[in-house]
């Protein structure tokens, strides 16, 4: 072979290689055609109108009215982003970004002021009808969370999630929702982040939240037990009475960090698995696993400790065989919220007793991980997103996974480049989970559409892709650079390469 032929062949090989690499790179950056992009909010964080037109008092209204000092900036959700009046603006900016869906929550107390089904507030039903219709008129799918932490205070006075009767009330509430909105809402999420809100019964977790009852390792376990039943009741109700005609999907949103072993020692690997079971499996295993019920390691450790404490029964209630079956499989997709990751080793931490102590794990973070400047818990760990998605895919029978939240906080800058790189790195890892690991991720929901009331952190931690000045009575929505980034990404259906 002459030297010119050889160089020709080499050139050809090079062209083929470069072309192939470009093709696979673009395939890996591209979202599947039916992939859904959306953004999310929650009622108490954006709506305001806390007692407008017959709305009842929720546990968040109650706590922040009674204890303004619990809030970092003494703010509450009385007015918030005033979405109660400005919902058309919210829909306008969703459309501006080309969003396929909007995940919002319904305030139970807006449509049932005490939480009871014999007391319906028509003005509340009208508000959500208007919002849903406005979304549909603009080609945006409503993804509706039934419960994003704002329990009717009336039900809290009866014990809230620690009273088994809550499952009856939750089923009644779900029925009102299916009856009134199910002709148009096809995506339902029963509960948002159960393991976050049950910390209201254990006085732990990363923020003060109602009812702020100090019963760790007991109150939170009771709440977990009853919310699993409540979720299943809402799911079965849909299955039995509404699915055939309404043909939607019902599921739950679970939050989890990624738990990475601190070292590759057998002990740390086991500790990381325990962390996943105590902080994710506790809710996911009863619903999504083949066997159902609480994870075996959770059952074993809590039972053992309860016995050693001289109790007559486990602090973690026991499901009957029938109830295990009733809860198992009550999902149509896996709603996942991901923000951050942690390193795990074994050890003792937390109050005695508490879920943290029961888990026998100690978590830490790598100081080299980039972090939000305002939310101490939010370290940027995008590779954990891929690992978590893939872990769920492998452990829970490859469910369809809808990312119902992922996002980044800052103090409220319009040039939010850190948020853009957060989205970009997480979406890149998401696509690796899809294309390399085979996970069925069907959509991504950015938290949040708007800067909003970050619970008891007030407006000091802002997650929005639109800025809201809460001292301006008109609450204008002002685009941040990240909204433009999302708009371009959704249009191209591809992650832009620098």
79 versus 136: smaller Cβ distance to ligand NOJ: 79
Per-residue mark of binding to ligand NOJ, 462-481 (x: CB under 6 A): -x------------------
CB 114 within 8 A of CB 154: yes
Give me the least distance between CB of 377 and ligand NOJ, in Å please.
Answer: 8
145 versus 354: smaller Cβ distance to ligand NOJ: 145
**Quick check: 447 binds ligand NOJ (CB under 6 A)?**
yes
Tokens linked to 230: 């409540």
363 versus 448: smaller Cβ distance to ligand NOJ: 448
Give me the least distance between CB of 448 and ligand NOJ, in Å please.
Answer: 7
Span 374-393, contacts to ligand NOJ by CB under 6 A: none
Checking DSSP bridges between strand 36-40 and strand 400-405, what pairing results, if any? unpaired
Query: What is each CA distance from 43 to 128, 149, 284, 349, in whole angstroms?
Result: 11, 9, 24, 34
List the one residue from 134, 150, 405, 416 that touches ligand NOJ (CB under 6 A): 405
Q: Which residues pair with residue 336 across a beta bridge?
A: 254, 403
Binding residues with ligand NOJ: total (CB under 6 A): 9
336 versus 433: smaller Cβ distance to ligand NOJ: 336
Give me the least distance between CB of 428 and ligand NOJ, in Å please.
Answer: 21
**Quick check: 171 binds ligand NOJ (CB under 6 A)?**
no
* Catalytic status, residue 193: yes
Give me the least distance between CB of 192 and ligand NOJ, in Å please.
Answer: 5
39 versus 337: smaller Cβ distance to ligand NOJ: 337
**Quick check: 257 binds ligand NOJ (CB under 6 A)?**
no
Tell me how far apart the alpha carbons of residues 342 and 455 are, in angstroms, rounded to a whole number. Answer: 23
* Catalytic status, residue 96: no
202 versus 406: smaller Cβ distance to ligand NOJ: 406
Tokens linked to 325: 């079956």
**Quick check: 42 binds ligand NOJ (CB under 6 A)?**
yes
CB 216 within 8 A of CB 300: no
**Quick check: 454 binds ligand NOJ (CB under 6 A)?**
yes
Distance of CA 20 to the CA centre of its chain: 38
444 versus 463: smaller Cβ distance to ligand NOJ: 463
Which one from 134, 171, 405, 454 is the annotated catalytic residue? 405
**Quick check: 337 binds ligand NOJ (CB under 6 A)?**
yes
Give me the least distance between CB of 450 and ligand NOJ, in Å please.
Answer: 11
Which one from 193, 360, 429, 454 is the annotated catalytic residue? 193
Span 218-247, contacts to ligand NOJ by CB under 6 A: none
Checking DSSP bridges between strand 334-337 and strand 258-261, what pairing results, if any? unpaired
45 versus 180: smaller Cβ distance to ligand NOJ: 45
Give me the least distance between CB of 337 and ligand NOJ, in Å please.
Answer: 6
Per-residue mark of binding to ligand NOJ, 183-202 (x: CB under 6 A): ---------xx---------
CB 349 within 8 A of CB 267: no
**Quick check: 406 binds ligand NOJ (CB under 6 A)?**
no
Give me the least distance between CB of 309 and ligand NOJ, in Å please.
Answer: 32
**Quick check: 451 binds ligand NOJ (CB under 6 A)?**
no
Burial class from Cβ neighbours inside 10 Å (0-12, 13-18, 19+) for residue 22 reads exposed
Give me the least distance between CB of 411 and ligand NOJ, in Å please.
Answer: 15
Question: What are the residues binding ligand NOJ (CB under 6 A)?
Answer: 42, 45, 192-193, 337, 405, 447, 454, 463
Active site residues: 193, 405
């Amino acid at each position: 072979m002459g030297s010119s032929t050889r160089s020709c062949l080499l050139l050809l090989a090079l062209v083929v290689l470069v072309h192939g690499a470009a093709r696979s790179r673009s395939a890996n950056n591209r979202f599947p055609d039916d992939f859904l992009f959306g953004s999310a909010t929650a009622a108490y964080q954006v709506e305001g109108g806390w007692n407008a037109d017959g709305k009842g008092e929720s546990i968040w209204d109650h706590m922040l009215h009674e204890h303004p000092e619990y809030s970092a900036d003494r703010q509450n959700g009385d007015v918030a982003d005033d979405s109660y009046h400005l919902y058309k603006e919210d829909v306008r900016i969703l459309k501006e970004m080309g969003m396929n869906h909007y995940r919002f929550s319904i305030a139970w107390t807006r449509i049932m002021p005490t939480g009871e089904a014999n007391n319906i507030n028509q003005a509340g039903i009208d508000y959500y009808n208007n919002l849903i219709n406005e979304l549909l008129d603009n080609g945006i799918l409503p993804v509706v969370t039934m419960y994003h932490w704002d329990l009717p205070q009336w039900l809290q006075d009866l014990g809230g999630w620690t009273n088994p009767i809550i499952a009856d009330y939750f089923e009644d509430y779900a029925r009102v929702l299916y009856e009134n909105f199910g002709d148009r809402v096809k995506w339902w999420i029963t509960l948002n982040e159960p393991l976050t809100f049950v910390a209201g019964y254990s006085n732990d977790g990363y923020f003060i939240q109602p009812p702020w009852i100090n019963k760790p390792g007991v109150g939170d376990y009771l709440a977990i037990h009853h919310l699993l039943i409540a979720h299943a009741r809402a799911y079965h109700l849909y299955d039995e009475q509404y699915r055939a005609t309404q043909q939607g999907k019902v599921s739950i949103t679970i939050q989890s960090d990624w738990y990475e072993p601190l070292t590759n020692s057998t002990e740390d690997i086991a500790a990381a698995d325990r962390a996943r079971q105590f902080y994710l499996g506790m809710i996911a295993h009863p619903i999504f696993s083949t066997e159902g019920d609480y994870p075996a390691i959770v059952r074993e450790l809590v039972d053992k400790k309860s016995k050693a404490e001289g109790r007559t029964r486990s602090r973690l209630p026991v499901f009957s065989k029938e109830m295990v079956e009733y809860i198992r499989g009550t999902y149509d997709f896996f709603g996942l919220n991901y923000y951050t990751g942690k390193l795990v080793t074994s050890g003792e931490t937390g109050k005695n007793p508490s879920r943290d102590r029961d888990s026998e794990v100690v978590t830490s973070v790598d100081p080299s991980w980039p972090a939000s400047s305002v939310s101490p818990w939010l370290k940027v760990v995008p590779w954990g997103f891929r690992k978590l998605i893939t872990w769920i895919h492998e452990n829970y029978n490859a469910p369809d996974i809808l990312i119902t939240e992922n996002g980044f906080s800052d103090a409220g800058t319009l040039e939010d480049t850190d948020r853009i790189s957060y989205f970009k790195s997480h979406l890149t890892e998401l696509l690796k989970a899809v294309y390399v690991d085979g996970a069925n991720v069907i959509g991504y929901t950015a938290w949040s559409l708007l800067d909003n009331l970050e619970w008891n952190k007030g407006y000091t931690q802002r997650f929005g892709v639109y800025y809201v000045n809460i001292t301006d009575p008109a609450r204008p929505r002002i685009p941040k650079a990240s909204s433009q980034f999302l708009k371009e990404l959704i249009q191209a259906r591809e992650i832009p390469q620098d």
